[in-house]
Structure 1
Amino acid sequence: MKLSTIFVQALLVPLALAAAAPKLEKKVSYDGYKVFRISTHHDGAIIKEKLAPFAAVPFNLNTEEHLDVAIPPQDLAAFKALNLETEVLHENLGADIAEEGKFAAYDGPSAQAVPSLNWFNSYHSYADHVTFFSDLQGAFPQNSELITAGTSVQGRSIFGIHLWGSGGKGSKPAVYFHGTVHAREWITAKVVEYIAYNLLVQYSTNATVKTILDKYDFYILPFVNPDGFVYTQTNDRLWRKNRQTRSGSSCVGTDINRNWPYKWELTNGASTNPCAETYKGVAAGDTPENKGLVAFTKSLAAGKGIKLYIDWHSFGQYILLPYGYDCSARAANHARQTTLASGVASRIAQSYGTRFTYGPSCSTLYATTGSSVDYLTDVSKAELAWTIELRPTGSSSSGFILPAAQILPSAIEQWEGMTYLLTTM
């Protein structure tokens, strides 16, 4: 426990320093913003052109079928005058953000020294997430350790947990999960936390879980973008990128998932505009986060190899296979990956009927360059490398502001999908 306490304190130092620093930025308010889903009829460019005069905030990058966008109150009348085909997703985005932000107090470990499942009834602060992982590891010291995979722009550790079974630490191929790559995608941390929780809590009582953890070493990083996540809780709930500044630009942030040093130089899958949501950076792998992640990933690949990598995102309900950089490219084991993705989608649907679409990333959703999945597939030689886009999708979608009541159902259905995958792959 002493080691865990030191670990927690080290992780929270940047947060404490940030809290002590003067607040130079006003918190972004979304009060009165209304979020619409606009049917694009396969011509999103025309819709975007019509929205150009407004201070609109886009939610989705793939606009082939629809565009989800937040319209500020001062633009609502002019927006309605466009007579677009729309559905309302949020009547008042600010009110829904406020409701989501009613964090429950973390009540710590139970009498059995295990964190309570109540953790998954609410979203939490970054500090509470750090403590949760420390408590979880402290309850199972023989099968886990806290790990770091580099540091962020602002000096926060990219922390996580390493889990293993009867073979001992580092003796099996790696299963490797990333969460909160994009800061506003809060549900991703909760889902990977639920997976880690179940692997440890059920190891001694569930034969299937024991088989899984005895077969693989798990490396789970809940916050690949810790600075961005903290910023979503202090300044702007819809922030996506990291918090890196660049010389010559007043815009902040690089998209960590467009900065991996593989196919980074290609066009049309990322932006060279520092103000864009998908800004790729100045050079391949030039963010502090990517430098740490690449080094950590190389160490896993050089060890027992990487069996499975999943980059968890939201939203849209997709299981995305390689590749993002080329819509015609396919992994060497594409047929096998497709079969497994189909099985995972079917298992996910058994819990609550949630439907996930699966297929190659570029042809199923949109092009991406400098992405983790492409790097893990071709450079790290991971046998399986996927992106999973979590809830929600469809009409009445809540987008990134997924209600707290959906945390546990989302986590449960993913646990079911992963149980299938981890026993089948």
Structure 2
Amino acid sequence: MVATTATALLAFAVVALALPQQHAFDADLANSPPSYIQETGGIDRYDGHEVWRINWSSLSNTSRSALHNVLETAGDVWKATPEVIDVHLPPRVAAVLPSLIPKDAQATKIVPDLQALVNLSLAHPVPGLPGAYAPQSPLADPPTDFPDGGWNVSTLDTVFHDAFQPLPAIDRFLDALVNEYPETLHTFEFGQSAEGRPLRAFSAHRADGKADAPEVLIISGQHAREWVGPASAIYFLHALLVNLRENPKGTAAKVLREFTVTVVPTLNPDGLVYSREHSRMWRKNRQDVGGLICKGVDLNTNWGYEYKPSRLACSESYSGQHPFEAPETAAMANYIVNGAKDAPRNRMPRAFIDLHSYGQLFMFPYSFSCNVFPPDAENLMEAGMGVAKAIRLIGGPGYQTGQACQSTLRFSGDASDYAYAVGQIRWSYSAELRDTGTYGFMLPPFLIRPTGIDVVAGLSALALFIYDTEIEP
């Protein structure tokens, strides 16, 4: 089945590239499994799979669009910018890659064996052996700080931040934060996922802080395989709470005095569970989309602003047939506009940040087109440059900032576009966290803390910029 499907996909890909002005469509593709998946014992493996970076900067927009369609059909596009496109390919496709790309495009292998990176991303620290990691994490019972199976949330040194955690562990850790900091942090649900899991938010504000403080809303985990997003969002929330307690006059104290910071650590809990237990490269949610085999909607193409429906249900970027078809995006949008039962909305959030990986980018709207320029672009750019500078000043990596459509090849139906245009949230951004391609989505656990520290510095700087610009100019 896999070999037959791969052959059909390659044939379709070559035709699509040879005829860039045409849009051939094979109806069988709509209900065929992706060719790059090789399932063994219920868990997908990627032995011998490769990731290639293709420099397509010399190609015309038409040729780039055609090549993107080819690579998305034959493999799994990880990242695309005006300069390069990164694509994950199974061995049989990688072997014929030169025949799939124009002569003007240059291809370089950046990951020779994807399974090795998958194993690395699943590693957990070995208790009692600092710096040592077990090759693969348990699914539901990771190491903890306390004998009773809990974490020491009074400090950022907890072992929780040394590994990518499964969803039950994430929930236990966040509940421990609420119990440890009850005067500052509370949690509420704002909907359910496609498989019935609660969608949870965590809202932090000083008990003696400003009444009716403006909200900074941070979401992450729309794409299941981007594990560093939820991990960094949780680290950011934890750091605010610990730093507030340790330094009542510091930056965290000021941020939590002037703002209410709401964090949605994972908007796609079903996908996160599936990416750990079955398919590390899973991207979408897990709802039934009417196909016989393929499931899931790409959440970050399903928002109701400049939305475009999809035809290929098996595509990693399948946007569904109508906006907010995914219950996760519908619930999040409803919270943005109306609030939740336990968190009524008095006014719209002041800022919105959507955490993704990878690429080290901090982007403002619009994503769907460069022909539409936001009226706040100058201020958005200045604030974004401040975020990048703050990360650089603590020794972090370089982040680029700019309009999303110029920074990366994006899609319609983007969350930050919706927040800006429909939610009227002036300070709306989409962030691509570490790295720039060495590990891609398979960031190793030892880079969780550094990435979290980047997010703390960058988003704290953004909050203070908004304060200086709009609250106490």
TM-score relative to the length of structure 2: 0.77
Q: Decide which of 164, 168, 187 is 1:146's aligned counterpart.
A: 187
Q: Is the 8 A contact 2:223 2:268 kept in 1?
A: yes
1:192-227 CA-partner distances (Å, limit 9, x unpaired): 111100111111332221111011111101110111
Cα 1:243/1:42, change in 2 over 3 Å: farther
Question: 1:312, CA displacement in angstroms?
Answer: 0.4
Question: 1:82-231, aligned counterparts within 5 Å?
Answer: 85-104=106-125, 105-108=142-145, 116-167=157-208, 171-206=212-247, 207=249, 208-231=251-274
Q: Decide which of 376, 384, 398 is 2:439's aligned counterpart.
A: 398
Q: Decide which of 380, 405, 409 is 1:366's aligned counterpart.
A: 409
Q: Secondary structure at 1:149's aligned position in 2?
A: strand
1:239 and 2:239 matched: no
Q: Is the 8 A contact 2:81 2:407 kept in 1?
A: no
1:384 & 1:100 partners in 2: Cα distance?
Answer: 32
Q: Is the 8 A contact 2:228 2:443 kept in 1?
A: yes
Q: Secondary structure at 1:189's aligned position in 2?
A: helix
1:45-70 CA-partner distances (Å, limit 9, x unpaired): 56557768x9533222x253222222
Q: Secondary structure at 1:132's aligned position in 2?
A: helix
Other-structure match for 1:58: 77
Other-structure match for 1:40: 56
1:81 & 1:331 partners in 2: Cα distance?
Answer: 40
Q: Is the 8 A contact 2:307 2:413 kept in 1?
A: yes
Question: 1:33, CA displacement in angstroms?
Answer: 1.2
Q: Write the letter of the residue equivalent to 2:265.
A: P
- Out of 70-79 and 286-295, give the one that drifted further: 70-79
Q: Write the letter of the residue equivalent to 1:178.
A: I
Unaligned runs of 5+ in 2: 1-38, 126-141, 467-473
1:184 & 1:271 partners in 2: Cα distance?
Answer: 21
Question: 1:271, CA displacement in angstroms?
Answer: 3.5
Q: Secondary structure at 1:150's aligned position in 2?
A: strand
Cα 1:102/1:259, change in 2 over 3 Å: same
Other-structure match for 2:457: 416
Q: Is the 8 A contact 2:291 2:313 kept in 1?
A: no
1:160 & 1:225 partners in 2: Cα distance?
Answer: 12
Question: 1:26, CA displacement in angstroms?
Answer: 2.8
Other-structure match for 2:336: 297
Q: Is the 8 A contact 1:313 1:389 kept in 2?
A: yes
- Out of 271-280 and 92-101, give the one that drifted further: 271-280
Other-structure match for 1:329: 372
Cα 1:56/1:358, change in 2 over 3 Å: same
- Out of 128-137 and 72-81, give the one that drifted further: 72-81
Question: 1:259-278, aligned counterparts within 5 Å?
Answer: 259-265=302-308, 271-278=310-317
Cα 1:191/1:111, change in 2 over 3 Å: closer
TM-score relative to the length of structure 1: 0.85
State the Cα RMSD in Å.
Answer: 2.7
Runs of 4+ in 1 over 6 A off after TM superposition: 80-84
Q: Is the 8 A contact 2:75 2:87 kept in 1?
A: yes
1:245-291 CA-partner distances (Å, limit 9, x unpaired): 122553211111111222225xxxx7442222222212121211122
Cα 1:362/1:283, change in 2 over 3 Å: same
Cα 1:170/1:27, change in 2 over 3 Å: farther
- Out of 125-134 and 202-211, give the one that drifted further: 202-211
1:299 & 1:216 partners in 2: Cα distance?
Answer: 19
Cα 1:378/1:107, change in 2 over 3 Å: same
The higher radius of gyration belongs to: 2
Q: Secondary structure at 1:188's aligned position in 2?
A: helix
Question: 1:137, CA displacement in angstroms?
Answer: 1.2
2:374 & 2:96 partners in 1: Cα distance?
Answer: 47
Question: 1:362, CA displacement in angstroms?
Answer: 1.7
Q: Secondary structure at 1:231's aligned position in 2?
A: helix
1:379 & 1:41 partners in 2: Cα distance?
Answer: 33
Q: How many matched pairs?
A: 395
Q: Is the 8 A contact 2:152 2:158 kept in 1?
A: no
Other-structure match for 1:67: 85
Q: Is the 8 A contact 1:308 1:382 kept in 2?
A: yes
Q: Is the 8 A contact 2:366 2:403 kept in 1?
A: yes
Other-structure match for 2:137: none
Identity of aligned residues (%): 26
Question: 1:81, CA displacement in angstroms?
Answer: 7.7
Cα 1:115/1:424, change in 2 over 3 Å: closer
Q: Secondary structure at 1:373's aligned position in 2?
A: helix
Question: 1:115, CA displacement in angstroms?
Answer: 6.8
1:354-405 CA-partner distances (Å, limit 9, x unpaired): 1111111123323432221122112222121100111111xx6211111112
1:285 & 1:111 partners in 2: Cα distance?
Answer: 38
Q: Is the 8 A contact 1:114 1:136 kept in 2?
A: no
